[in-house]
Amino acid sequence: MNSQKRPLFGLLLVLIGLVLLLNNLGVISGLPGYVFSWINIFLLLAIANLFSGNFRGALLFGVLWSFFMLQQYTDIRLRDYWPLILVVIGLSMLLRKRLQPQVTATSDDSFDEINIFGGSTKKYTSSSLKGGKITNIFGGSEIDLRDCQPESVVVIEVLTLFGGCDLIVPKEWNISVDTTAIFGGFDDKREASSHKDPAMVYIKGITIFGGGTLKSSK
């Protein structure tokens, strides 16, 4: 989710939260029961994916939301049709394999990559890289920083949950990896180099049933 779309989604969450709070306090009343349903978690995830440009993820969560809503408010029986959920997830995985994300390049000095049931491939060319954030939940990303020049201290925050991340960086960079791993890890597989860049790059975060890799080439 880029820096322009994130505030819009944040504003949407604020508005939803305020409406629900006012309803709980009795300031407003009469909201239909389906507004408070747990099923709407899928709708929020669909909107989040839509704002981040991950249309396959948005479609997946949108279909799941529609399915559970129909099951709850119509005569459709979940025990008869629940295998369709597996079909949708399987189709999403097949599409993800066949439709590889296109590489996009930017000169932004920082990045904030979010992938939920999707993937992205980005190349950065900043002459003054300040840092970034990477969030992959049932998704993955490949970020190429080989044409970047980092500032004296750079922090890259990583969160992977059933996902993965490949960081392609120059082998000369001084990188300190300090991540918490739960059934996962973050490995440095770069080629060795006798010369080291004076800048310091810190990679921090958590990997749960996922991981990441530092590489100096694709």
Q: Residue 4 pLDDT more than 60?
A: no
Give the side-chain half-sphere CA count within 13 A for 186: 24
Average pLDDT over residues 147-172: 88
**Overall size of the chain counted in residues:** 218
Q: Give 207's DSSP letter.
A: E
Distance CA 147, CA 139 (A): 25
With CA atoms as reference, report the closest residue to 69 among 117, 24, 23, 35.
35
Q: Domain ranges in the chain?
A: 5-98, 103-215
The pLDDT tens digits for 55-92 are 666 777 787 788 777 777 777 666 676 677 677 666 66
Confidence of residue 3 (pLDDT cuts 50, 70, 90): very low
Cβ atoms of residues 201 and 149 within 8 Å: no
**What percent of the chain stands above pLDDT 70?**
72
Higher pLDDT, 30 or 171: 171
Higher pLDDT, 207 or 10: 207
Strand partners, 137: 116, 161
Confidence of residue 22 (pLDDT cuts 50, 70, 90): confident
CA dihedral (6, 10, 13, 15) positive or negative: negative
Query: Which range in 44-58, 142-156, 172-186 is most confidently predicted, on average pLDDT?
Result: 142-156
Strands ordered across the beta sheet of 103-106: 103-106, 119-124, 140-144, 164-168, 211-215, 185-188
- State the chain's mean pLDDT as an integer: 76
Distances in whole angstroms, Cα of residue 142 to Cα of each of 160, 169, 194: 13, 11, 26
Higher pLDDT, 53 or 191: 191
CA dihedral (7, 13, 17, 18) positive or negative: positive
Higher pLDDT, 32 or 174: 174
Q: Is the pTM of this model over 0.75?
A: no
Q: Residue 12 pLDDT more than 70?
A: no
Cβ atoms of residues 174 and 199 within 8 Å: yes
pLDDT at position 53 is 63
Tokens of 28: 């407003």
pLDDT at position 144 is 92
Cβ atoms of residues 168 and 143 within 8 Å: yes
Cβ atoms of residues 154 and 179 within 8 Å: no
